[in-house]
Chain A
Amino acid sequence: MSIRLENVVKAFGNPPIEVIKGVSFEVKDGEFVSLTGKSGSGKSTLLYMASSLDNPTSGKVLLQNQDIAQMEQKALHRFRNQHMGFIFQYHYLLPEFTVLENVLMPAIKAGVAEKKRDEAIELLERFELGHSMNYLPSQLSGGESQRVAIARALIMQPRFIFADEPTGALDSANAINVMQIFQEVNRTTGCTIVYVTHDAEFAAMAHRQILLVDGQIESITANKATQPKKKRAL
Chain B
Amino acid sequence: MLFIALRQLWARKRQTILTLLGIMLGAAAYIAFSGILLGFREYLLDQMVNNDAHVRISAKARLVEEKSFDHVFARPNESLFWIVPPSGRKDSQKIDNVQEWIQRLREDSDVEAYAPQLNVTVLFRKGKVTQNGRIMGIIPSLQTRVAQLEKYVLRGTLRELADNGQKIMLGEGLRENLGLRYGDSITVVNSRGDAQQFKVSGSFSIGNRMTDETLAYVSLNTAQSIAGTPGQVSDIAVRLRDVRKSYPKAQQWSNDESAKVQSWEQINASMLDVFQVQDMTRYMMSAIILIVAGFGIYNILSIVISQKKREIAILRSIGYEGTDILTIFMTQGMLLGFAGGVLGVLLGYLICWQLSHVTFSSPMMKTRQTTMMVSFNYLIYVYGFLMALFSTTVASFLPALKAGKMSPIDIIRGQE
Contacts and interface: CB of A to CB of B under 8 A. Distances in A.
Interface in B1-16: 3-4, 7-8, 10-11
A110 interface: yes
A25 B386 CA distance: 57
B3 A96 contact: no
B318 A96 contact: no
A82 interface: yes
A92 B311 contact: yes
A47 to B, nearest CB: 10
A92 B313 contact: yes
Interface string A143-185: 0000000001000000000001000000000000000000000
Contact of B319 (A54, A78, A94, A164): A78
A79 B408 CA distance: 16
Given A92-B314, A96-B11, A82 B321 contact: no
A115 interface: no
A58 B4 CA distance: 37
Nearest to B415: A12
B321 A105 contact: no
B409 A108 contact: no
Interface string B312-326: 011101111100100
Interface in B359-414: 408-409, 412
A109 B1 CA distance: 8
A84 B408 CA distance: 15
A133 B311 CA distance: 19
A105 B408 contact: no
A80 B317 contact: yes
A84 B319 CA distance: 9
A224 interface: no
Q: Which one of B3, B11, B314, B315 has the highest number of Cβ atoms from chain A below 10 Å of its Cβ?
A: B314
Contact of A53 (B3, B310, B408): B408
Contact of A94 (B10, B311, B408): B311
A131 interface: no
Nearest to B319: A81
A110 B319 contact: yes
A80 B320 CA distance: 9
Given A96-B7, A96-B8, A109-B324, A80 B310 contact: no
A79 B318 CA distance: 9
Interface string A129-144: 0000000000000000
A127 interface: no
A111 to B, nearest CB: 11
A77 B321 CA distance: 6
A95 B409 contact: no
Contacts of A108: 3-4
Q: Which one of B11, B319, B321, B408 has the highest number of Cβ atoms from chain A below 10 Å of its Cβ?
A: B319
Nearest to A113: B3
B7 A86 contact: no
Interface string A54-97: 10000000000000000001100111111011101010111111
B300 to A, nearest CB: 16
A77 B318 CA distance: 8
Nearest to B411: A92
Interface in B101-134: none
Interface string B293-320: 0000000000000000011011101111
A193 to B, nearest CB: 16
Contacts of A93: 314
Contact of A86 (B310, B311, B317, B321): B317
A53 B11 contact: no
A109 B409 CA distance: 20
Interface string A106-125: 10111000000000000000
A85 B321 CA distance: 15
Contacts of A88: 314, 412
Contact of B320 (A48, A84, A97, A109): A109
15 contacts: A48-B409, A74-B321, A77-B319, A80-B318, A86-B318, A88-B412, A90-B310, A93-B314, A96-B8, A96-B10, A97-B7, A101-B7, A109-B315, A109-B318, A109-B324
- The 9 A-B residue pairs whose C-beta atoms are closest, nearest first, are A81-B319, A96-B11, A86-B317, A54-B409, A106-B318, A80-B319, A92-B314, A77-B321, A53-B409
Interface of B: 3-4, 7-8, 10-11, 310-311, 313-315, 317-321, 324, 408-409, 412
Interface of A: 48, 53-54, 73-74, 77-82, 84-86, 88, 90, 92-97, 101, 105-106, 108-110, 152, 164
Given A80-B318, A105-B318, A106-B319, 5 more contacts: A88-B314, A94-B314, A105-B314, A109-B324, A110-B319
